[in-house]
Amino acid sequence: MSHYFITGASSGIGAALAEKCLAAGDSVTAVARRGDRLAELGAGHDRFHGAACDVTDAAALDASIAESMSKLGPVDCAILNAGMYVPQDTSAIDPSIYARHMDVNYMGVVNALPGLVESMLERRTGQIAIVSSVAGWRGLPRAAAYGPTKAALISLAESMTFDLAPRGIDIKVICPGFVDTESTAVNDYEMPGLISADRAADEILAGLKTDRFMIKFPRKFARSMNMLRWLPDRTFFRLVGARTGFPQK
């Protein structure tokens, strides 16, 4: 039985992960701002701790980590999933929206690391999985606030691996494609390869058991997105622009 620490657990991928871990008999600490959702999620489960906390509040998040370990024991696997997405038209930029994305998506991960890493280093074991996105691989339409935060998370996970993997901590980065959640519900365009949060949770939990650094899915869509990473810039802009309704000259 493992202790999973999951942020962004009130809905979407985070909630699906928490439900599956609880069903498997594992202990779960679920972190989210919506305490009522956490109460519903943990109803009837003894090995559940709901932490109503905003990941942008470093002190509160650190306290939640300490409390979770006091109640359920050391964290074996942290899945840092909390995030936000607001589509952006860069012809009219509101810096506050970009700053909020960075605070939630990037710093929301960084804020969780001190307490988690310290405990895992003491035990020389543990796993930290950071939820990024295929949107972090190359710039995409309407993703100017979101995509850079996900690119930063990939770089963060790579850098952490050099320091922590030799000391017993397994670092993974998770790059989903389109997942049917509250965040993607705002999109007004076709989302190729769209999968359910339940399937995304299955992909993540299976990937955590492998020796792969990057967990990417769904497989066909991830392959297509990966190919875009290597296209010449001019070809990339024309192809993606034509497919998404942003034609380039």
Q: Could you read off the pLDDT of 115-160 as tens digits, one per residue?
A: 999 999 999 999 999 999 999 999 988 999 999 999 999 999 999 9
- On whether residue 94 sits in a domain, the answer given is yes
pLDDT on residue 143: 92
Q: Which two tokens stand for residue 94?
A: 């509101």
**Within a domain: residue 178?**
yes
> What pLDDT score was predicted for residue 242?
86
Dist CA 227 CA 28 (whole Å): 37
pLDDT at 88: 94
Residue 176 preceded by cis peptide, ω within 30: no
Domain membership of residue 249 (yes or no) is no
> Could you tell me where the DSSP H helices lie in the chain?
12-23, 35-42, 58-72, 95-101, 107-110, 113-123, 147-164, 197-208, 219-228, 233-244
Place of tokens 């001190």: 114
pLDDT of residue 150: 98
Is residue 67 in a domain? yes
Find which of 17-21, 180-184, 189-193 is predicted with most confidence, using mean pLDDT.
17-21
Weakest-pLDDT range from 24-28, 151-155, 178-182: 178-182
Average pLDDT value for residue range 169-192: 78
Residue pLDDT, tens place only, 62-73: 999 999 999 999
Confidence grade of residue 191 (pLDDT, cut at 50, 70, 90) = low
Percent over 70 (pLDDT), the chain: 95
Q: Is residue 53 in a domain?
A: yes
Q: State the Cα angle at 136 between 132 and 138, rounded to 5°.
A: 165
Task: Please state the rounded mean pLDDT for residues 83-91.
Answer: 94
Provide CB contacts within 8 A for 227, sequence distance 6+: none
Whether residue 185 has pLDDT greater than 70: no
Asked whether residue 62 is assigned to any structural domain, the reply reads yes
Distance CA 187, CA 191 (A): 8
Domain span at residue 165?
Answer: 3-244
Between β-strands 77-80 and 126-131, what pairing exists: parallel, antiparallel or unpaired?
A: parallel
Number of domains into which the chain is organized: 1
Kindly calculate the radius of gyration of the chain based on its CA atoms and give it in whole angstroms.
Answer: 18
Mean pLDDT across the chain, nearest whole number? Answer: 93
Q: Looking at the domain assignment, is residue 89 inside a domain?
A: yes
CA dist 183 and 63 (Å) reads 27
CATH number at residue 137: 3.40.50.720
pTM of the predicted model as reported, rounded to 2 decimal places: 0.94
Q: Are 220 and 193 in contact (CB under 8 A)?
A: yes
Spatial separation of the C-alpha atoms in residues 222 and 226, rounded to whole Å: 6
Question: Is residue 182's pLDDT more than 90?
Answer: no
- At 84, is the pLDDT very low, low, confident or very high (cuts 50, 70, 90)? very high
Q: Is the confidence at residue 52, as pLDDT, over 60?
A: yes
- The answer to whether residue 222 sits within a structural domain is yes
Q: Is 189 a catalytic residue?
A: no
Q: For residue 51, what are its two tokens?
A: 């932490």
| Catalytic pick among 4, 85, 106, 146 | 146
